[in-house]
């Protein structure tokens, strides 16, 4: 069972639902009549995006990017390769990047440079989880934020460890034994 691999539940399903609704209402007020483009980063961000847009009362466009980072899996290098680009042309559009978690901020920094170079009318960030203890890149335009999380490896609500745990309805800290075991043989955390 997935639950047994979780050390501690950090944010419950009900807490997430309440916060997502709050953010959705703020976005609806701020972006009324702007038909914003909500950009989600595959794969972890889609759960948040799917719940978020259903709390919004305004017209929205959704689009997706897939990226991969180079370097050791546990360290974000900020050197990113675009595996799947947007389908929408975002020139003159109001763009909101919807992310599951920001850790060092390097990945988001790259994304913002990439999207910003396409001349959107505005560019903001909406993130569910903020792990600010490990932040390297400051001054990110994080206008909408769900929860602060401690410096621990979390899973659930879209976040995975080796593609598992994304479907947990809450956010929890993964037991260290799970990834310590796996990392003895190979790989790391991504
Ligand atoms: P950053 O470039 O901000 O360091 O990296 C952000 C990415 O690292 C996230 O989109 C996510 O894929 C991954 N990440 C960072 N912290 C965690 C975590 O605690 N759990 C999981 N599952 N992924 C994380």
What pLDDT is attached to residue 78? 65
Annotated active-site residue 5? The verdict is no
pLDDT computed for residue 13 by the predictor = 98
Q: In ligand 1, which atom is closest to the CA atom of 99?
A: 10
User: Is the CB of residue 156 less than 8 Å from the CB of residue 7?
Assistant: no
**Per-residue pLDDT, 63:** 98
39 vs 30: CA distance, rounded Å: 17
The gap from C-alpha 176 to its chain's centroid, in whole angstroms, comes to 22
Our CA dihedral for 30, 170, 66, 136, rounded to 10 degrees, sits at 80
- Closest by Cα among 103, 123, 129, 121 to 111: 123
Q: Report the separation in Å between the CA atom of 173 and the middle of ligand 1, taken as the mean of its atom positions.
A: 13
Quote helix, strand, coil % in the chain, to nearest 5. 30, 30, 40
Please name the residue whose Cα sits nearest to atom 9 of ligand 1: 101
Q: How many CB atoms lie within 10 A of CB 78?
A: 18
**Segment 110-133, tens digit of pLDDT:** 999 999 999 999 999 999 999 999
Q: What's the fold here for domain 13-150?
A: Rossmann fold (3.40.50)
- Is 109 near ligand 1, meaning CB less than 6 Å away? no
Residues 6+ apart with CB under 8 A from 60: 31, 35, 36, 37, 38, 53
How does pLDDT run across 37-63, given as a tens digit for each residue? Answer: 999 999 999 999 999 999 999 999 999
Spatial separation of the C-alpha atoms in residues 166 and 92, rounded to whole Å: 34
Question: How far is ligand 1, taken at its centre, from the CA of residue 128, in Å?
Answer: 12
Q: Alpha-carbon Rg of the chain, whole angstroms?
A: 16
Task: State residue 189's pLDDT score.
Answer: 56
| Ligand 1 atom closest to the CA of 104, numbered from 1 | 4
Entry pTM: 0.92
The pLDDT value given to residue 162: 93
Residue numbers in the chain where pLDDT is lower than 50: none
- Residue 122's pLDDT is 98
Q: Is the CB of 114 under 6 A from ligand 1?
A: no
Q: Catalytic: which of 103, 138, 160, 190?
A: 103
């Amino acid at each position: 069972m997935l639950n047994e691999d979780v050390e501690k539940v950090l944010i419950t399903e009900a807490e997430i639902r309440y916060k997502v609704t709050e953010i959705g209402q703020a976005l609806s007020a701020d972006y009324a009549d702007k038909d914003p483009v909500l950009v989600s980063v595959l794969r972890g961000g889609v759960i948040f995006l799917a719940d978020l847009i259903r709390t919004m009362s305004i017209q929205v466009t959704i689009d997706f990017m897939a990226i991969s980072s180079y370097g050791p899996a546990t360290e974000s290098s900020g050197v990113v390769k675009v595996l799947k680009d947007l389908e929408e042309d975002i020139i003159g559009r109001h763009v909101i990047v919807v992310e599951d978690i920001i850790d060092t901020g390097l990945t988001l920094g790259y994304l913002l440079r990439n999207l910003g170079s396409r001349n959107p009318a505005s560019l903001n960030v909406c993130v569910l989880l903020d792990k600010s203890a490990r932040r390297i890149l400051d001054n990110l335009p994080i206008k909408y934020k769900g929860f602060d999380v401690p410096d621990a490896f979390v899973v659930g609500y879209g976040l995975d460890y080796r593609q598992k745990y994304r479907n947990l309805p809450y956010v929890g800290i993964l037991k260290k034994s799970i990834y310590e075991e796996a990392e003895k043989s190979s790989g790391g955390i991504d």
